[in-house]
Structure 1
Amino acid sequence: MNIDFPWHYDSRGRTAETDYEEHVRDLLELLIFTDPGERVNRPGFGCGLRQLVFAPNSPELAAALQFTLEAAVLRELGDILSLESLQVRSEDAALQVEVQYVVLGSGNPGAAVFPREGAA
């Protein structure tokens, strides 16, 4: 069973489920928006993007986040996806994370975009 994220009830009043490819995308989103130390039994899980909400946006921030994200994805999700491309772009007050990957269980490609807006 692949639980859908964010957690909610389906039309039958049960925990909503999703297909495997969408579940992998959900896991990627959880990893990106979880702060290290937030999970009790997995203190290294996460990359800390949410901690950067009020940080000044810059190309240096984008480069540092890209390095941190790549390491986190390979460490935590390397057994379920193959990272094809990960780019972090800094434009004005927006920081955008673009990820392209291949789901190892099915061989299907996937892509996701995660924007973050904050202080310029």
Structure 2
Amino acid sequence: MADELREPGFLGRGWAFPVVAGAAGQVALVAGATAIEQAIGIILGTSPGERVMRPEFGCGIWGLVMETNTAQLHGRVQLRVRDALVRWEPRIDVLDVRVESPPEERQVLLIHIDYRVRSNNAAYNLVYPFFLEEGVRQ
């Protein structure tokens, strides 16, 4: 498996997240832009202090669960997401982070992230839903 993880280039290859086994029992792997997208999800989905060997890893948005949905909250989420991605994902340049809340769903924040992959200058975007009330995820 060590040879499978080695891939020339900056983007690399790693285990798929969530971790799944293939038909032959091998761990599923992802590479390139998919690996980066999954890494962003891991960064945003991890609260600092969750990882024993790296307690500073993650994004501080999870401390904002149950906060009131205001413009100030949007600004705090935007700052924490940008800071976490700049610190923990060296393969990208963060171009923009925007936070919005659909009027019909005030308990959810949609975090829009625009980024560029440094190795090939390709631009990507993703939307990360963040639920302000626990137990609301679908």
**Cα deviation code 1:25-57 (max 9, x no counterpart):** 111111111101111222211113334333222
Instruction: Structure 2: state its 5+ residue gaps.
Output: 6-13, 134-138
RMSD between aligned residues: 1.6
Q: 1:41-52 to 2 correspondence within 5 Å?
A: 41-52=53-64
1:99 aligns with 2:101: no
Q: Tell me the equivalent position of 2:8.
A: none
Instruction: Structure 1: state its 5+ residue gaps.
Output: none
Out of 89, 95, 111, which is 2:125 matched to? 111
Paired positions, count: 118
Out of 41, 51, 68, which is 1:29 matched to? 41
Is the partner of 2:128 in helix, strand or coil?
strand
Q: 1:1-80 to 2 correspondence within 5 Å?
A: 1=5, 2-77=14-89, 79-80=90-91
The structure having more radius of gyration, on CA atoms, is: 2
Is the partner of 1:28 in helix, strand or coil?
helix
Q: Tell me the equivalent position of 2:98.
A: 87
Runs of 4+ in structure 1 deviating by more than 3 angstroms, as ranges, are 50-53
TM-score w.r.t. structure 2 length? 0.76
